[in-house]
A and B are shown apart, each in its own frame.
Chain A
Amino acid sequence: MSVLDSKVPKGPLKTKWTDYKNHIDLVNPANKRNIDVIVVGTGLAGGSAAATLAELGYNVKTFCYQDSPRRAHSIAAQGGINAAKNYQGDGDSTYRLFYDTVKGGDYRSREANVYRLAEVSANIIDQCVAQGVPFARDYGGLLDNRSFGGVLVSRTFYAKGQTGQQLLLGAYSAMNRQIARGKITPFNRHEMLDVVKVNGKARGIIARDLVTGEIERHSAHAVVIASGGYGNVYFLSTNAMGSNATAAWKIHKKGAFFANPCYTQIHPTCIPRSGDYQSKLTLMSESLRNDGRIWVPKNIDDVMAIREGKKKPTDLSEDERDYYLERRYPAFGNLVPRDVASRAAKERCDAGYGVNATGEAVYLDFASAIERYGKEQAKIHNIENASKEKIYDLGKAIVEAKYGNLFQMYEKIVDQDPYKTPMMIYPAVHYTMGGVWVDYNLMTTVDGLYCIGEANFSDHGANRLGASALMQGLADGYFVLPYTIGDYLSHEIRTGKIATDTPEFDEAEKEVTDKINFFLNNKGSHSVDYYHKKLGKIMWDKCGMSRNAAGLKEAMVEIKELREDFYKNVSVPGTANELNAELEKAGRVADFLELGELFAKDALERAESCGGHFREESVEIGGEQEGEAKRNDADFAFVSAWEYKGEPSAAVLHKEQLEFNEIELKQRSYK
């Protein structure tokens, strides 16, 4: 096993980034005009990177599979974005945000990266406000904050329950400015199908125009992958239907190491599954846990009565309810981190206390918040002896102002009014914290090939806290990559235009075309979704919220068999030269079928419980933390980075040892 060089700069943590920026090579503005950069993916990370690189003067080409960059799945992020502004005066600081993030990541992230993230977080808010992002304001006209799971300060900036949408539209508006200037050329409804390497350096991509089917060659001096996460490997997840691993997986096959593939964040507050036809799961912002209390009935008789429709949740008195998070974690209560909340919900449901027909749901109750806010409002408005109804109305208005769109979304899907009856929630696959391995410069193990946002293995480690994905996407795109890529491009000023009529482009294009022709000529008997659903089931059952060695070994075998069957029996209708959604899916599922196996292999290797993944063999026995995840720092304080060797099962493990100089590794306790 070789040792990976993270290229973290020397010197004290607090000044690393500043010193780094002071010493990198810069590109003369006149030379920037001669340098091309490709950005694949236009969500928060890709959009902000494209806009900033174009503004600096590089020629940028952007690629996205949607019809507009504005539809990237970052748009669906709801709750908020963290920043160490300490506007609330509640003790927040760069160090505290850094500390919370490393701890929330269960000490499996790179210290220097997380510190840099915390450092630039405040700039993100300034930048977005300047761009016209309508963050929530208080009555004095200043920015408002809310708090999120896993932290004790109020540092989350938000725009109703649509923060991701507003931040993405901000980045998209910055892109628009550069498109108008001619510095960004957008290729929408295009999918990257391979990366092209010349003399070991990334020099371009092969893309398919999803409308005409045309295969195109695009060259550049550097390629940036910002294609998001791979949660759809589970079929059912909170990801958009088109979210895929293809760009990240294709670069992995061309030499970029893939790190921590088994790190998946399971989100605790999603709308439960209702049937087999279901195409995806819907997330409800974690911010709901600020005001919602989570419970299941104490008595199994009440559970049965509720399932049979003989009782309603509102019939149960306070002492007939088990507020299990408040019971188990008195310090953080309903605001424990996502992994802890998810596992606790699963534990209750596995014990038979699930409250819906499938037994996979717990309640998220707003009744006491409505009452509390109602009484507060009555006081503010000097209403004496307010009636119960008046208090309810006043309180409901406050809850509606905070979470109105989420409540509306829930009601549309479930057909129940969450103001009147508690919501039902269950954990679902959400954000993937594994991804392409990158160094401090956000460069992969391939020269000139960068990876940012959710697509990289991120700064967050095993389990990230809420409201930090948006922060990482924008930090990478606006404030980190523009510096680090400049250092690399400063050596490219004499390269000149890169030709696309070379053997390297020929070869990559041929591979892409062959694969497309294979799918269309296979004429098998099963649809692409048939395979995707089967893969999803293996992943959820054996590589989901809790895992064990036997299950993971089985999963590896089953996924390989499924992949072989896919190549024999998949059926893809239509032709290559048209809009063909099935063809698009076929390529993406083919990649998931490989990634899934590597995922299981990585999970098997990591014989510790950590963050979002719970290894059944590794659990705290006895003591205050009994039953909680048991990390093993002596053996597993490393990033696993896999090198592709033809088959996922043959992948070679490289380790980046994680060093913690500023933070003491401790048992993560939220009690």
Chain B
Amino acid sequence: MNLTLKIWRQKGPKDKGSMVDYKVTEISEHMSFLEMMDVLNEQLINKGEEPVAFDHDCREGICGMCSMFINGEAHGPDRGVTTCQLHMRMFKDGDTITIEPFRAKAFPVIKDLVVDRSSFDRIQHAGGYISVNTSGNTQDANAIPISKHAADEAMDAATCIGCGACVASCKNASAMLFVGAKVSQYALLPQGQVEAVDRVKNMVAQMDLEGFGNCTNTGACEVECPKGISLENIARMNREFLSANVKS
């Protein structure tokens, strides 16, 4: 396949960026999207130009590092995948592909397609944990029975990879699917109950402080989430938040 790529190039956080056109040739349909980007970069390096900076690491769909906005969609046109799992068979010979960074006020651009998602970490610091000492003296694991249904639901929420596709896909740049998934995991488990009230209040407060928008139930986040995190998690977070405010 021969393709035209329109890629956002931005030297640094303070520089003004712009779209630049590139051509790539002999792209195999078996390549992943990131391998296609490798081919482009190899080509640029051999010409003495600067390669396109993009985040990527595990290339197995689990680390959540790759963050490309392709043809107007987070991680591109396929459903339920990260960018590393997007394959070139989704495109046709002669296509023009537009590639941009995830855009949100709380995700400032570092360079080209690389964005700063440390706001997600700060939300986690605000309460994304259960306060238990790592002493090795915790009670036997089977002393906390958890119904299979609750464990499975908690697992579904915990599956979030923190890639930020939800934020990038949302017209309000809301982080509520991400935060909802985190709050849900702990809300569904007995271990998380003791500090549930503080947790949801602190995490929501931090989310607002970081400059993420609110949820208006459009549902784009759920559609674009590579891990199928459900909107129910937002509902659950709202319920937890409301009840936390009623309680205290």
Contact = CB atoms under 8 A, between A and B. Distances in A.
A joins B in a complex: yes
Given A55-B133, A177-B129, A579-B53, A131 B191 contact: yes
A138 interface: yes
Interface stretch (A62-70, A94-102, A198-206): A62-70
Interface stretch (A166-174, A361-369, A485-493): A166-174
Interface string B139-152: 11110111110011
B141 A129 contact: yes
Contact of B142 (A142, A172, A280, A283): A142
Nearest to A161: B62
Interface stretch (A409-417, A444-452, A545-553, A588-596): A409-417
Interface stretch (B154-162, B207-215, B216-224, B237-245): B154-162
Contacts of B189: 132, 134
A578 B65 contact: no
B35 interface: yes
Interface in A573-600: 573-574, 578-579, 581-582
Which of B110, B121, B185 counts the most chain A CB atoms within 10 A? B121
B134 A51 contact: yes
B151 A241 contact: no
B80 A408 contact: yes
B9 interface: no
B21 interface: no
Interface stretch (A109-117, A271-279, A304-312, A346-354): A271-279
Interface residues of A, number: 78
A48 B135 CA distance: 11
Contacts of B121: 68, 70, 176, 186, 188
Interface in A111-163: 120, 123, 125-132, 134-143, 159-160, 162
Interface in A244-289: 274-275, 277-280, 282-283
B38 A277 contact: yes
A175 to B, nearest CB: 8
Interface string B29-47: 0111011001100100110
A529 interface: yes
Nearest to A180: B125
Interface residues of B, number: 79
A180 B122 CA distance: 9
A177 B134 CA distance: 11
B187 to A, nearest CB: 10
B118 A68 contact: yes
Contacts of A130: 130, 132, 138-139, 141, 144, 191
A412 B128 CA distance: 31
A71 B63 contact: yes
B142 A66 contact: no
A134 B63 contact: no
A238 B60 CA distance: 9
A76 B58 contact: yes
B1 to A, nearest CB: 12
A211 interface: yes
B102 interface: no
Nearest to B153: A134
A135 B151 contact: yes
B57 A478 contact: no
A383 B3 CA distance: 54
Given A51-B134, A76-B63, A143 B117 contact: no
Interface stretch (B81-89, B91-99, B169-177): B81-89
B55 A141 contact: no
B110 to A, nearest CB: 6
A209 to B, nearest CB: 12
Contacts of B30: 274-275
A539 B211 CA distance: 49
Contact of B64 (A71, A139, A574, A578): A71
Interface of A: 48, 51-52, 55, 66-68, 70-71, 73, 75-76, 85, 87, 120, 123, 125-132, 134-143, 159-160, 162, 165-166, 169, 172-174, 176-177, 179-180, 186, 188, 211, 238, 240-242, 274-275, 277-280, 282-283, 408-409, 412-413, 415, 478-479, 527, 529, 571, 573-574, 578-579, 581-582
16 contacts: A66-B63, A67-B65, A70-B162, A71-B63, A71-B64, A75-B63, A127-B134, A132-B186, A134-B146, A141-B147, A142-B142, A162-B159, A166-B155, A169-B158, A413-B85, A578-B111
